[in-house]
Amino acid sequence: MPHPGFRNLSLKFFLSVILSISCISNLSAAQSIRIAVLDFEANNASKYAAKAVSEFVSTEMAKKGELTVLERKQIGAILKEQGFQQMGCTEQECAVEMGKLLSAKKILLGTLSKTGNVMIITVKSVDVETGKIDFAESEKCMKEDDLELASKILAVKLVNNIAGTNYTIPMRTYKQDESRNKFAVGMSYKFGIIKDVNVPAVKSGASSLKIISSKADIQEQSILFCPSYEFTDNFGIRMDFKVMHDKFKTNTYSTDYYDYSGNEYNFFDIDAFKTFKGYGLGLNLLIIYPIEGFNLFLIPGIGIDKYKLISDSILYAYNNLSINYEESGNCKLEHDIYTYLFKFETGVSVYVSRYVELYFSAGIDFHLFSKFISDIKIKKQSETSYGSVPSDKMNWLENADIEFKGNFPPEYYVQAGIVLRLF
């Protein structure tokens, strides 16, 4: 009776043999596919370039070793011996007949075409047995100097398709299409968040009225118009013209004061909703990294924005019973901000066509000097009074003490839009 260890060893050996036979069979099956690459036809392109491309493709496919690629001299000798002309053989019927003479299973028919400034290499694989086209592959470039690399890329695609391999496609280092139009116009929507912005609020007393600071979070919504010009494939400039509008909420701030000796009473009620609007102008540097089908971009820039914060309403009342005077009404509190900014934005643009792109980005605006460049105004909307106004209350709303300290923290935003490439 065989030892258990011997049985295990025999089983492993048997499996190894089966696996080796399978690998050899698969390799033989792939190598048994005999193919011939015919001279490529030239369509509005150089005949010499077309012939060179067919050489590049044939040589690169032979290097991979999975297929039996007939040498071009061998093809010429066989066809000459049989009295068959290779030139002008671009149809399937002709390819099938030629394939039988060459004992090839597949014939590769190719064309080098030139449309405008773009050169396109197209290859069709014809199955000699069925007479049908198995598949077709193509590759394009802009210069004749790039045809060799384009041919190598195409050859790897062909080998992968015929032999079922998974070779890595070489990286393209050339343009495939004509240059994009340099001048473009973009339209986009921007949504940003600014946290803890100081906004003005009112504090009243017997003998004074003060404008103090209150915190608020602003959600900015903007529409941007962005003309741009690209000097090269990697650098350009862009102008930003934007219009901003939004409403934001703050804590309602109400104050009152009552002096028993003077019978004086002040009351302010600031609506919790404020209007935020403005416009801005920016100048940006475009740093572009082109990738097939889309662009990555980085945008540093500078700009200036003007913001206006407006309270919807302020209700106020003043009473002095000792002199029999009353005053009440509505007013608005307006806060103008002029701020310089430095921005940093990054994103991606996706080609839709030569003339249209979609883009998506995210960024941050750093506001500079905004706390020093601000202006606060109180504007009366309506007023009702009774009696003679005391001398110390003349223009008391307009002459409020400003204790407000402005700020404008960074804005974090996302942006999406469309670009039209005009010329």
> What b/e sequence results for 118-136 when a residue is b if at least 16 CB atoms lie within 10 Å of its CB, and e otherwise?
ebbbbbbbbbbeeeeeeee
Dihedral, CA of residue 62, residue 65, residue 68 and residue 73, to nearest 10: 30
CB atoms within 10 A of CB 24: 10
Where does CATH 2.40.160.20 sit in the chain?
Answer: 183-421
Torsion sign, CA atoms 112, 114, 117, 122: negative
- Residue 389 burial (C-beta neighbours within 10 Å; 0-12, 13-18, 19+): middle
Which residues of the chain form CATH 3.40.50.10070?
30-163
pLDDT tens for 24-74 read 444 444 446 889 898 899 998 999 999 999 999 999 998 888 888 888 777
Task: Please give the pLDDT value at position 262.
Answer: 57
| Angle, vertex CA 178, rays to CA 173 and CA 183, nearest 5 | 115
Confidence at residue 308, expressed as pLDDT on a 0 to 100 scale? 84
pLDDT of residue 14: 46
- Cβ atoms within 10 Å of 208's Cβ, excluding its own: 14
Instruction: Tell me the backbone φ, ψ of residue 28, rounded to 5 degrees.
Output: -65, -40
d(CA 313, CA 311): 6
Q: Rounded to an integer, what distance in angstroms lies between the CA atom of residue 42 and that of residue 35?
A: 21
Low-confidence ranges of the chain (pLDDT < 50): 1, 5-7, 9, 11, 13-15, 17-31, 252
Non-local (6+) Cβ contacts of 61 within 8 A are 35, 37, 67, 69, 155, 158, 159
Number of C-beta neighbours around residue 354 at 10 A? 12
Give the Cα separation of 380 and 200 in Å (integer): 16
DSSP 287: E
For residue 243, what pLDDT is reported? 94
Q: What's the confidence (pLDDT) of residue 86? A: 58
Which pairing describes strands 294-311 and 325-351: parallel, antiparallel, or unpaired?
antiparallel
- pLDDT at position 29: 42
| β-strand pairing of 209-230 with 401-402 | parallel
Q: Which residues contact 54 (CB under 8 A, 6 or more apart)?
A: 37, 38, 39, 40, 72, 110
What CATH code would you report for 183-421? Answer: 2.40.160.20
Residues 84-126 have pLDDT tens digits of 665 556 567 777 888 888 888 999 999 999 887 789 999 999 9
pLDDT for residue 252? 47
CATH number of 30-163, picked from 3.40.50.300, 3.40.50.10070, 3.40.50.1110, 3.40.30.10: 3.40.50.10070
128, 34 contact by CB (below 8 A): no
Residue 333 pairs in a beta bridge with: 378
Please report the pLDDT score of residue 89 as a whole number.
63
